[in-house]
Amino acid sequence: MLGLSLLAFVATLAAAAPSEERVSAPRARATQVFSLRDRTHVRLEFTTLVPRANMDLVATTETRGVPTRRVHRIFMDAARGLFYGYDVGVEPGAAPGSVVVTLGELSDDAARDFQTGGWRDYCRACEAPRRISSAQRFPKPQPLKVGETLSIDLLADEATGARVTDRLVLGAPRRKGREVLPPQDFVPEDVWLQLLEAKLYVNGEPVYSDDEGGVSVQGELVWVGIPGKGRIFFSLVPRAGYPFEKGAVLTNDRIKCTLGADVYEWIAEGPIVTAGPRGPFEAVQSWYLWILHDAGYPVAPGSYVAGAGFDERAENRLKQP
């Protein structure tokens, strides 16, 4: 594990002894999966260690940029009306299977978007939070191999020394064989959708060039972002409490749906649910998908974003009473 210290000393954390045991904040966990221009698959898994009194700390991540990926990592302390963030840039490394991680100040655009409304995804009843400003000095770019962990001390109480530490796991070690999960009864709600390097086309035209990769995500409920149009959740079945509609068709390696006057199609590098035909068979099954359009979700131009499951924003803004 590599460790860095970027401490912004503030007096807003809950009072605690420096030796107090820290725990992982459950609402600060996040995962970002994407590919770089050399087709290196990167999985960033974020966990945050906090004093027990700060377990309600919330964090979000947003990925922007192609082919250089930049992740905006933002923390919100709703009880005290504060937020803090930093940026993580990821590029291919010089050695095969390596990446270069660059840490820096949270971009002005990301800070402004969060302060002018993004915070409502995590606390609808709160007032607009105030940004914690700091004069941090960020280290030089860090070369890392996929699978290594980077530990970053972010915040500390100047009186008590209590710290908030973010941990990034960059990818996962390659397995020699596939993981086979225990057998279970077939239930549509539990069937995974798998989008591998899925490219987006609008009205038949590609949104990005071939060398810019695509989105990769897996889960029984997945979502993908559309620059300027929010994001769409896909599911094989409707989900209780959410206004899903039957509005897409899945055929082998592609998903197609219509929003307004535009036709959107994602084409993946492989089957999404069921295998395609292999001689002598020629037929291909098609399945209806249930969709939920989150039109207000911010997706910046030039960004591939995707995720699995319902997040805090979905529960706060999309879930019906």
Let me know the angle formed at the C-alpha of 69 by 64 and 75, rounded to the nearest 5 degrees: 60
Query: What pLDDT was estimated at residue 184?
Result: 83
Let me know the angle formed at the C-alpha of 119 by 118 and 121, rounded to the nearest 5 degrees: 80
Which has the minimum average pLDDT: 15-24, 27-36, 57-66? Answer: 15-24
pLDDT digits (tens, 9 = 90+) for 60-90: 887 765 545 788 899 988 878 888 999 998 8
Global pTM exceeds 0.85: no
Q: Which residue bears the tokens 């994407």?
A: 34
DSSP string, 194-236: EEEEEEEEETTEESS-GGG--EEEEESEEEEEETTTEEEEEES
Residues in the chain: 321
Percent of the chain with pLDDT over 70: 82
> Is 201 within 8 Å of 208 (Cβ atoms)?
no
pLDDT digits (tens, 9 = 90+) for 175-196: 445 677 788 888 888 889 998 8
pLDDT digits (tens, 9 = 90+) for 87-109: 998 888 887 767 888 988 898 88
